[in-house]
Amino acid sequence: MGVLKNIAILVLVGLGFSAFGQRPGQQLGNQVASKARATTMQDERNEPKEPRDFRPSMVKLSYDFIPLGATLFSENRSGQAFQASMDFDQYFFAVEYGTQKTNRGETFDYHNQGWYWTMGPEVNFLKSNTKGHSLTFGLRYGQSRFSDWIYFVPNDNFFGNYPVFEANDELRARWMEMTVGLNAKVWKNLYMGYTVRYKIFRTVKGIDGFAPYDVPGFGPYEDNTGVQFNYYVGWAFQWREKFPAPEVTPK
């Protein structure tokens, strides 16, 4: 208790010294500066806010080069993916469509093919960037429809080796995504950038007696969450200036 009291006294004394330690002129200067800051903030508050302009200025059509890379260089996977996004003030609304085909297995033959789409809003943290760059965070809802089949011969010690063929003709999946994207305007209306997605809340309907291995647009079925990287190259079809140059009144 006594120690605490001593510490409290020391702190109070220290604060007192620091207050007295300031020169009278410095104290006056601090007061003037804080008054000036308050006045500026007051003025800013009184200034009429510039109205937000939610009218869209462009549609950006992009192509995902990651599935293209898989199509060209992977024997087991192929697909295409496109994205369209429209701006509303500092927000975007994005829609994506893609197809995917996979072949898997060393001890089995598994084939999966289908299509998917996702859509959702994005917010651009670089809202005043007049060059058109964007750093976005977004939420997406995704769905896919697909079918798959598997063929293999199980090594059954009791019933012997017999061929197994199982198929899912019509599967439907849905999930949610959180996205972070960085997009840059590189030349005229040409944009390049990447998106990283974290996928959650995956559900699949239509499974009979065979759980699918892949879910197009999501990833492996056994993983309840997924991470995906996309690299987009796109062109913006712009019909008006988002940040028009201020009008200069001739004197």
Binding site for other proteins (CB under 8 A): 104-108, 110, 150, 152, 154-156, 158-160, 162, 164, 166, 209-211, 213, 222-223
Integer Cα distance of 231 and 215 in angstroms? 20
Output 54 or 198, the one with its CB closest to other proteins.
198
Minimum separation from the CB atom of position 231 to other proteins (A): 20
By C-beta, is 83 or 102 nearer to other proteins? Answer: 102
**Whose structure tokens read 């890379």?**
69
* Smallest separation (angstroms) from other proteins to the CB of 159: 5
As to burial, measured by CB atoms within 10 angstroms (0-12 exposed, 13-18 middle, 19+ buried), residue 119 is: middle
- What is the bridge-based pairing of β-strands 190-205 and 214-215? unpaired
Minimum CB distance to other proteins smaller for 92 or for 110:
110
Q: How far is the CB of 167 from other proteins (least distance, A)?
A: 11
210 burial class (0-12, 13-18, 19+ CB within 10 angstroms)? middle
Closest by Cα among 207, 196, 199 to 224: 199
How far apart CA 114 and CA 123 sit, in angstroms, is 30
Residue number with CB closer to other proteins (16 or 154): 154
With respect to other proteins, which residue has the nearer C-beta, 12 or 211? Answer: 211
SS3 track for 47-68:
CCCCCCCCCCCEEEEEEEHHHH
- Provide, rounded to whole angstroms, the least separation between the CB of residue 244 and other proteins: 42
Nearest distance from C-beta of residue 177 to other proteins, angstroms: 18
**Beta carbons of 162 and 156 less than 8 angstroms apart:** yes
State the minimum distance, in angstroms, from the CB of residue 209 to other proteins: 6
Question: Which of 29, 105 has the CB closer to other proteins?
Answer: 105
